[in-house]
Amino acid sequence: MRLGRALRPKEPRHFLVATAAGALVVLTFVVASWLRPWSPKRGLGLFFGIAAALAFVLEMAYPLRRPKGRFFGTAKAWLQIHVYVGSVAFVGVLAHAGFRWPGGAMGWGLLLLSAWVCGSGLVGVLLQKWLPAALAEGLRVEALYERIPSLVDGLTREADALMADTSEALERFYADEVRPRLSRPTPSWTYLLDVRADRERSLGPFERMARFVEPEEQARVADLMSLFTEKLELDAHYTVQGLLRRWLIVHVPPAGLLMALLVVHVVTWMRY
């Protein structure tokens, strides 16, 4: 299935390398901690800590590269680096802490924040693989997120024009049942699970209506149905694209907070 294929890594080689790196970190930790007690302040523990901190700083290069618009390589390469280095860096953080619960406020803060940032990042990666494929496969219409309200207005106007001179039953049907749902975008979380959610149920009334009206008006009902279908698809776009945009709020500000805590952590380490 196309969707199943969409979840695979874009660059399997990078995925393998990153997994191997993570496994190497864990293995090194297991061996080293069997030989000597593990301390985040000395030896390998310190090395992992510094490496993870530098990796987090490198992570910032991805969002900060944007303003200039010129940088080495493509954005795709940078995103690959961002995701994989971030994942391995988190394993490095765990290794630095010795795979044990932290002992104080700063330790908990750093661990939880890095877990949140990395976790939300990976959730974001999954979303970015799953949702666009769902949209592309399941829908015909394609729209810009910011334009959807005006597109819906356009559809409403078209529908109004279509329904201008019709029989009373149809007009009532249109005014009572269709127009309220047509005139505003109505996002719904069910679109996240299935972009064509409730399609039959929403379009059912049109089909029933088509049976009741005169043959001349059936074409109009069919047109109205396809119009309404477009509107439903725009709703799906509104929901899904909205989520794709809002996800960043969950990922980036905590990352800023994490960097601040990291700075404090490094400063206290260097000073003491």
Q: Which DSSP symbol is given to 176?
A: I
Task: Please report how close the Cβ of residue 240 comes to other proteins at its closest, in angstroms.
Answer: 9
Binding test (CB under 8 A) with other proteins, winner from 26, 58, 122, 141 = 141
Window contacting other proteins (CB under 8 A); options: 12-20, 30-38, 188-196, 202-210:
30-38
CA dist 268 and 256 (Å) reads 19
The encoded tokens of residue 170 equal: 């149809």
Q: Which is nearer to other proteins, 51 or 252 (CB)?
A: 252
Q: Which 8-state DSSP code applies to residue 175?
A: I
Q: Of 14-22, 140-148, 183-191, 201-209, which segment contacts other proteins by CB under 8 A?
A: 140-148
43-64 helix and 75-96 helix, angle to the nearest 10 degrees: 150
Answer for which of 9, 46, 47, 128 binds other proteins (CB under 8 A) is 128
Shortest CB 46 distance to other proteins, Å: 11
Ranges within 150-179 binding other proteins (CB under 8 A): 151, 154-155
| Residues 251, 117 contacting (CB under 8 angstroms) | yes
**Burial of residue 18, with CB atoms counted within 10 A of its CB: 0-12 exposed, 13-18 middle, 19 or more buried:** buried
- 226: amino acid identity, one letter: S
Per rule CB under 8 A, is residue 99 in the interface with other proteins? no
CA torsion 4-7-11-14 (nearest 10°) is -130
* Minimum CB distance to other proteins, residue 85 (Å): 15
Q: Which stretch binds other proteins (CB under 8 A): 23-31, 148-156, 171-179, 198-206?
A: 148-156
Near other proteins in 238-257, by CB under 8 A: 241, 244-245, 248-249, 252-257
Report the candidate in 99, 93, 80, 98 with the shortest Cα–Cα distance to residue 18.
80
Touching other proteins, residues 31-70 (CB under 8 A): 34-37, 39-42, 63-64, 66-70
Beta carbons within 8 Å of 24's beta carbon, 6+ residues apart: none
**Residue 266 interacting with other proteins (CB under 8 A):** no
Q: Judged by CB under 8 A, does residue 147 bind other proteins?
A: yes
Nearer to other proteins, 20 or 67 (CB): 67
Tell me whether residue 230 or residue 235 sits nearer to other proteins (CB atom): 230
Report the chain's C-alpha Rg in angstroms: 27
